[in-house]
Amino acid sequence: MSIYRRIKEGIMDAAYVWRQEMLQVFKDEGVLIFFIIVPLVYPLLYSWIYNNEVVREVPVVVVDQNRSSLSREFVRKCDASPDVHVAFYADDLDEAKSYVSRQLVKGIYLIPSDFDERLNRMEQATVSVYTDMALMMTYKAIYQTSMMVSQEMGKELRTKISGHYTAQDEAVASQPLKVNDVALYNPAGGYGSALLPAVLILILQQTLVLGIGLSAGTARERNRRGHLIPNDPHYHGIYRVVWGKALCYLMIYAVMGAYLLLAVPHMFSFPQLADGIDMMLMLMPFLVASVFFGMTVSCLVRYRENVMLLMVFVSVPLLFLTGASWPQSNIPGVLQGVSWLFPSTFGARAYIRLNSMGATLNDVLPELRFLWIQAAAYFGMTCLVYGHHFRLLQRDK
């Protein structure tokens, strides 16, 4: 057989595999949900929840066991802040907890009975803060408000006992160094701008792996011997099958990736500093690496449900390992090594630097190189595993 004929036959077989895989995607409701419905809907829901960036007037209940002028001043200043609203007063902590359990408030301020006494003796006083952790934005509003009010009251007390006679002396004594706090790349200080880029990348990877795993699980369940590859004359070359399947997934997720990384941030006015061409050049190695990573994982899946249990379980740890919600410098070396196994790690870092920090493509070249290395490594592993299944298929014929 001539080289030209072999190449033509290989292309025709890969196209046949691509067609069969594309039909399987749209016939299988589970695969269709993870490939189309979830990437379309879930980012909208997540972005809508965090679109406000910050919350205002979070209701709290106060347990004032001191009932002094200082405790009332603390409560008054908390209530005057834009983030917290004192909705109720309670006689004890049990009553305050009942307000939280009924979702009437999101937090509790407990002022102890010795609050003013300790302050008047120039000792450190404490205010206990209890918050509902169901939503991090409400926790942040309640906790930071109490911290800012405590610091402000502390400065006022230091000013009163300083013994200075001019307003300038008092200002220097209470705040010798004035600090203007500006959050880099997140001027609103909100969770949406901080976490959404990493979450979008993770959605792409996880839904892609889940869809590929479900498709592979279906193929193995339908084959009476549990083989990943059907007994079809067009499925007789490792590279033809691998590239045919990969092309199907890449075509679908090229569209979904452009939607998630370009359209969703634009719809909700999240930071979007990257050039469209740079974004596509970053997306390409990430999708290739994710596709072959998903195909490698799918070879380990015997039943459809297994891949869902595996990938849903690791979703939150993978978000932390990207370094978006937890500082990368504080991640132990062993866990950083584990994070290198997942395309989402380098994809999220590259996307955040491009889209949120205004970096150029040259600035994220290390991440892009790692993604291409992952793509080559997972392509090799996919071919090895598919080759093993080919040998099992030939043995059982």
Phi then psi for 129, rounded to 5 degrees? -120, 125
Beta 58-64 vs 107-111: how paired, if at all? parallel
Residues 217 and 304: beta-carbon distance below 8 Å: yes
pLDDT at 379: 93
Token duo for residue 73: 């001043």
CB-based burial, 26-35: b 16+ in 10 Å, e otherwise: eebebbbbbb
pLDDT at 333: 86
CB atoms within 10 A of CB 395: 8
Residue type, 292: F
| Residue 270 to residue 193: CA distance in whole angstroms | 6
Alpha-carbon torsion 113, 87, 144, 316, what sign?
Answer: positive
Which of 257, 288, 271, 282 is CA-nearest to residue 366?
Answer: 282
Give 104-130 pLDDT, tens digit per residue: 998 989 988 888 888 777 778 888 888
Report the pLDDT value the prediction gives residue 394, as an integer from 0 to 100.
64
User: 58-174 adopts what CATH topology?
Assistant: abc type-2 transporter like fold (3.40.1710)
Q: Return the C-alpha torsion angle 204, 206, 208, 213, nearest 10.
A: 180
DSSP code, position 188: T
- Return d(Cα 60, Cα 87) in angstroms, integer: 6
Residue whose structure tokens are 């291409």: 372
285 within 8 A of 366, measured Cβ to Cβ: no
Q: What is the pTM of this model?
A: 0.76
Helices (H), the chain: 3-27, 29-32, 38-49, 69-80, 93-101, 115-120, 136-160, 167-174, 191-222, 238-258, 264-267, 276-298, 304-321, 333-339, 343-355, 365-396
Which pLDDT tens digit goes with each residue over 339-393? 899 999 999 999 988 888 888 888 899 999 999 999 999 999 988 888 776 776 6
pLDDT at 18: 86
Q: Is 87 exposed, middle or buried (0-12, 13-18, 19+ CB in 10 A)?
A: middle
Q: CB neighbours (10 Å) of residue 253?
A: 26
pLDDT at 122: 75
Output the tens digit of pLDDT for each of the chain's 397 residues. 567 777 777 778 778 888 888 888 888 888 888 888 888 888 888 777 777 667 788 899 999 888 888 888 888 998 998 889 999 998 888 888 998 888 899 898 998 888 888 877 777 888 888 888 777 778 888 888 888 888 888 777 776 666 655 666 556 555 666 666 666 776 666 666 777 888 889 999 999 988 888 887 777 766 655 555 656 666 677 788 888 889 999 999 999 988 988 888 888 877 788 888 888 899 999 999 999 998 888 877 766 677 777 777 888 888 888 887 777 888 888 988 888 999 999 999 999 888 888 888 888 999 999 999 999 999 999 888 887 767 766 666 5
Residue ranges, comma separated, of all CATH 3.40.1710.10 domains in the chain are 58-174
Distance set, CA 167 to CA 109, 150, 174 (Å): 32, 21, 11
SS (H, E, C) 189-231: CCHHHHHHHHHHHHHHHHHHHHHHHHHHHHHHHHCCCCCCCCC
Instruction: Give the CA angle between residues 27, 390, 284 to the nearest 5°.
Output: 60
Output the pLDDT for position 229.
Answer: 61
Structure tokens given for 161: 């006992």
